[in-house]
Copies of this chain bind each other. A is one copy, B any other.
Amino acid sequence: MGHTYPGATVPFGAVQLSPETDSISYELNGKYNGEVYKYCAGYRYEDKTITGFSSTHFSGTGHSDLGDFLIMPTVGKLQLNPGTATHPENGYRSRFSHQNEKAEAGYYRVKLDDYNILAELTASSRTGVHRYTFPQSDQAHIILDLTAGIYNYEGKNIWTYVRIENDGTVTGYRQTNGWARTRTVYFAMKFSKPFKSYGQKNYDGQQSYRGFWRKFDQTKNFPEIAGKNLKIYFDFDTREQEAIEIKLAISPVSQNNALENLEKETGTLSFDQVKAKAQEEWNKELNKIIIKGSDTEKVNFYTALYHTFISPTTYMDINGEYKGLDQNIHKAEDFIHYTTFSIWDTYRALHPLFNIIQPKRNNDMVKSMMAHYQQFSMKMLPIWSHYANDNWCMSGYHSVSVVADAIIKGNYNGDPKEALKACVATAGKREYEGIGYYIDRGYIPDEKNGTSVSNTLEYAYDDWAIAQLAKHLGETEIYNEFIRRSENWKNNFDSKIGFMRPRLADGSFKKDFDVLSTHGQGFIEGNSWNYSFFVPQNPDELINAMGGKKKFASKLDELFTMHLPDEFFADTEDITREGIIGGYVHGNEPAHHVAYLYNRAGQPWKTQAQIRRILEMQYKAAPDGLGGNDDAGQMSAWYILSSLGFYPVAPGSEDYSTGSPAVEHAVLNLENGKTFEIEAVNQSPKNVYVQKILLNGKEIKDFTLKHSEIMNGGKLIFHMSSKPRK
């Protein structure tokens, strides 16, 4: 359920070169096919066959797209259909086994049993490098299946184009209408060995104007091919153990740019050299945090850290050009332009983590969001954006949190006033998902919007973040307006039952309501039990509203210990049974801050115990190691921060809430040259309780660590014990 992929990428790379284990259609008989969900990342561990290796993947998402430029090597009779999982021999796919599979940072390999081909993958930022070691054959093929893709359906390809530049170089593009409504990825590929011949099959049926088909035989060795459903193949003679390498670069702008990306990144480099560079890059990034601990702990920690450094992904050619939301070509002059913003997830811990350990990149990510805002005709910051599109997936306008958090933490070198303006404009978009009602009434009538409560709660938090930014910039009027809006959560709080609850247009609460159910109750990816704690911006008032600290802590206890009946579990999205603890759903994001709320309710030892329990239960370096989608790194970022001993309950503030570190010792190598050291004295799996916290020798008593305290460098010591300090 993690929806991560095992293939090769470099940190925040544009290319994610990874195997696909099946080709499942997004639609079946015109309806959404639930099976496709398992293939968000292209790869499913349970599968026995591989259909090929494609250049682009999301890491950990709960919806998908991409899977561009599927390549499959075969020997023997040419077969252009993928075949089926049960009858792989009827198509180009191959059986494989996990024994013959290895995944490293920046490297992946697998033996394709049906062809006796060793497939290896590595990557630079914009270029994937394939190496296929063939048996002796005079019928070796490399197939480029342009009809393949993730979350594909009949008609998803708007257009594809392939141009054979010469007998070793191919360029083209794939243009799709999917999660990104209008998306084109250009490619350039170079073979290490010239192909002896090539051909294509176009499954479109006859194209309208047939004249040009008469003039040439376009099925064999014809160098300009275009259509919606193309498959291309390249033929080779191979010696025993002969390796053919393919470099395939992508570009959001043009084939020429793809060629330039390929040349400048990997021009004369061999597969092994590209791999060595990729692994060097990973080592550099992963060394930003050095921990001590058991091997298992290290595997867990660096797996999580690896996952946090995958997306957002670079979306810009080596010459700085990228296609903007306005479909024009822009140039990023002084920053790296990123895409793949799963912000509903990542504003919580991933971007805050970046503010500590990747501040330069986070600065550029905020600039990328600002470019989005400027290029979008509606002038909104991104909601869920990829490849010059916003799919507006999930709720809230949490870019404002990312923007505010970065600026407040001193980590934005653009114009902060312009950034505030973008936040205010986004929050003022009346026509967007109930915002007009929210502004006018302080809540969204349930009749008007299916996720009226979670929207209101999330808008209220976001408005608080805007208010913090306004305060930071001395914009009192904006502060006043938005701090007022940030209290709107109260309008959905039903004090009679002590839960958040949908309200109707007439002001009354929805009658038919179940606090355990997820669907149709006014929430998205969470039930009222989880969302009722979603006031990260003002837990003290929430505690009051819920009857004071004691009652509040008991309610948290109930959340972590209750049994969620199967009927309600079934409609909880994107998680497994292992993804929940009692009624607490860690596999989805809305509750990610909840365990830290015990700190405010006067029972910090329960925060400590729950955090350690979640760290242990919800993260394993195994095929089913995550209790829910990794969500573009958010789940992993939670792991990193929590295992270091602190967490940003409300990004947009300098404050981190302390928990219980899982590491024995950690050193954060900060970009400013300073180091921040964390030590857990008397650490053990049982010693989950914190007796004392010392920052540079001075005790922290309020369970709060400040961002600047980390960035100034120093040492944080946790004294651990098996007994809670009450």
Binding site for B on A (CB under 8 A): 26-27, 63, 153, 155-156, 158-159, 161, 163-165, 171, 173, 175, 177-179, 181-182, 207-209, 211-212, 214-217, 221, 223-224, 226, 254-256, 326-329, 376-378, 383, 390-393, 431-433
A256 engages B328 (CB within 8 Å): yes
Known A-B contacts A255-B326, A328-B256, A377-B224; A392 and B212 likewise in contact (beta carbons under 8 Å): yes
Among A153, A165, A215, the most chain B Cβ lie within 10 Å of the Cβ of A215
Taken together as a complex, chains A and B put the C-alpha atoms of A182 and B155 apart, in Å, by 17
Chain B residue, CB-CB nearest to A217: B431
A208 engages B433 (CB within 8 Å): no
Residue A212 contacts which of B156, B208, B390 (CB distance < 8 angstroms)?
B390
Among A255, A390, A431, the most chain B Cβ lie within 10 Å of the Cβ of A431
A209 engages B224 (CB within 8 Å): no
Q: A171-B326, A178-B209 are in contact. List 15 more A-B contacts (CB 8 A).
A: A63-B211, A155-B208, A158-B175, A159-B159, A179-B211, A211-B391, A211-B392, A211-B393, A214-B433, A215-B383, A215-B392, A224-B376, A224-B377, A254-B328, A254-B329
Taken together as a complex, chains A and B put the C-alpha atoms of A163 and B325 apart, in Å, by 10
A181 engages B212 (CB within 8 Å): yes
Chain B residues whose C-beta falls within 8 Å of the C-beta of A209 in the assembled complex: 63, 178-179, 181, 391
Chain B residues whose C-beta falls within 8 Å of the C-beta of A177 in the assembled complex: 159, 207-208, 226
Q: Closest CB-CB distance, A340 to chain B, in whole Å?
A: 16
Chain B residues whose C-beta falls within 8 Å of the C-beta of A212 in the assembled complex: 181, 390-393
Sort A-B residue pairs by CB-CB distance and give the 4 closest, nearest first: A223-B377, A215-B392, A256-B328, A182-B226
A377 engages B163 (CB within 8 Å): yes
Chain B residues whose C-beta falls within 8 Å of the C-beta of A329 in the assembled complex: 254, 256
Q: Closest CB-CB distance, A254 to chain B, in whole Å?
A: 5
Chain B residue, CB-CB nearest to A451: B214
Chain B residues whose C-beta falls within 8 Å of the C-beta of A178 in the assembled complex: 208-209
What would 27 A/B residue contacts be, using CB atoms closer than 8 Å?
A: A63-B209, A153-B208, A156-B208, A158-B175, A159-B175, A159-B177, A161-B182, A177-B208, A178-B208, A178-B209, A179-B211, A181-B207, A181-B209, A182-B226, A211-B391, A211-B392, A211-B393, A212-B392, A212-B393, A216-B392, A216-B432, A217-B431, A221-B431, A224-B377, A254-B329, A255-B327, A255-B328
A327 engages B155 (CB within 8 Å): no
Q: Closest CB-CB distance, A311 to chain B, in whole Å?
A: 19
Taken together as a complex, chains A and B put the C-alpha atoms of A155 and B63 apart, in Å, by 28
Chain B residues whose C-beta falls within 8 Å of the C-beta of A433 in the assembled complex: 214-216
Oligomeric state, in copies: 2
Q: Closest CB-CB distance, A96 to chain B, in whole Å?
A: 30
Chain B residue, CB-CB nearest to A27: B208
B390 engages A208 (CB within 8 Å): no
Main SS of the interface on chain A?
loop
Taken together as a complex, chains A and B put the C-alpha atoms of A216 and B179 apart, in Å, by 16
Q: Closest CB-CB distance, A409 to chain B, in whole Å?
A: 30
Q: Closest CB-CB distance, A348 to chain B, in whole Å?
A: 21
Q: Closest CB-CB distance, A540 to chain B, in whole Å?
A: 33
Chain B residues whose C-beta falls within 8 Å of the C-beta of A328 in the assembled complex: 254-256
A378 engages B223 (CB within 8 Å): yes
Taken together as a complex, chains A and B put the C-alpha atoms of A214 and B179 apart, in Å, by 13
Q: Closest CB-CB distance, A381 to chain B, in whole Å?
A: 14
Taken together as a complex, chains A and B put the C-alpha atoms of A164 and B376 apart, in Å, by 10
A164 engages B391 (CB within 8 Å): no
Taken together as a complex, chains A and B put the C-alpha atoms of A173 and B217 apart, in Å, by 32
Chain B residues whose C-beta falls within 8 Å of the C-beta of A27 in the assembled complex: 208
Known A-B contacts A224-B378, A391-B211; A431 and B179 likewise in contact (beta carbons under 8 Å): no
Known A-B contacts A177-B208, A182-B226; A159 and B161 likewise in contact (beta carbons under 8 Å): no
Among A164, A178, A212, A433, the most chain B Cβ lie within 10 Å of the Cβ of A212
Chain B residues whose C-beta falls within 8 Å of the C-beta of A392 in the assembled complex: 211-212, 215-216
Among A156, A207, A208, A432, the most chain B Cβ lie within 10 Å of the Cβ of A208
A208 engages B158 (CB within 8 Å): no
B216 engages A431 (CB within 8 Å): yes
Chain B residues whose C-beta falls within 8 Å of the C-beta of A63 in the assembled complex: 209, 211
Taken together as a complex, chains A and B put the C-alpha atoms of A153 and B206 apart, in Å, by 13
Among A156, A226, A329, A377, the most chain B Cβ lie within 10 Å of the Cβ of A377
Q: Closest CB-CB distance, A387 to chain B, in whole Å?
A: 13
Taken together as a complex, chains A and B put the C-alpha atoms of A208 and B165 apart, in Å, by 34
A377 engages B164 (CB within 8 Å): yes
Taken together as a complex, chains A and B put the C-alpha atoms of A215 and B433 apart, in Å, by 5
Residue A327 contacts which of B163, B181, B327 (CB distance < 8 angstroms)?
B163
Residue A181 contacts which of B26, B158, B182, B226 (CB distance < 8 angstroms)?
B226
Taken together as a complex, chains A and B put the C-alpha atoms of A589 and B207 apart, in Å, by 28
Chain B residues whose C-beta falls within 8 Å of the C-beta of A171 in the assembled complex: 326
Taken together as a complex, chains A and B put the C-alpha atoms of A171 and B324 apart, in Å, by 14
Chain B residues whose C-beta falls within 8 Å of the C-beta of A224 in the assembled complex: 376-378
Taken together as a complex, chains A and B put the C-alpha atoms of A153 and B209 apart, in Å, by 11
Taken together as a complex, chains A and B put the C-alpha atoms of A327 and B178 apart, in Å, by 23
Chain B residue, CB-CB nearest to A377: B223
Taken together as a complex, chains A and B put the C-alpha atoms of A175 and B228 apart, in Å, by 13
Q: Closest CB-CB distance, A448 to chain B, in whole Å?
A: 12
Q: Closest CB-CB distance, A433 to chain B, in whole Å?
A: 5
Taken together as a complex, chains A and B put the C-alpha atoms of A171 and B326 apart, in Å, by 9
Chain B residues whose C-beta falls within 8 Å of the C-beta of A216 in the assembled complex: 392, 431-433
B158 engages A159 (CB within 8 Å): yes
Chain B residues whose C-beta falls within 8 Å of the C-beta of A432 in the assembled complex: 215-216
Taken together as a complex, chains A and B put the C-alpha atoms of A223 and B326 apart, in Å, by 11
Q: Closest CB-CB distance, A424 to chain B, in whole Å?
A: 19
Q: Closest CB-CB distance, A566 to chain B, in whole Å?
A: 28
Chain B residue, CB-CB nearest to A153: B208
Q: Closest CB-CB distance, A706 to chain B, in whole Å?
A: 37
Taken together as a complex, chains A and B put the C-alpha atoms of A179 and B212 apart, in Å, by 9
Chain B residues whose C-beta falls within 8 Å of the C-beta of A256 in the assembled complex: 328-329
Taken together as a complex, chains A and B put the C-alpha atoms of A156 and B209 apart, in Å, by 10
A377 engages B165 (CB within 8 Å): yes
Taken together as a complex, chains A and B put the C-alpha atoms of A56 and B61 apart, in Å, by 44
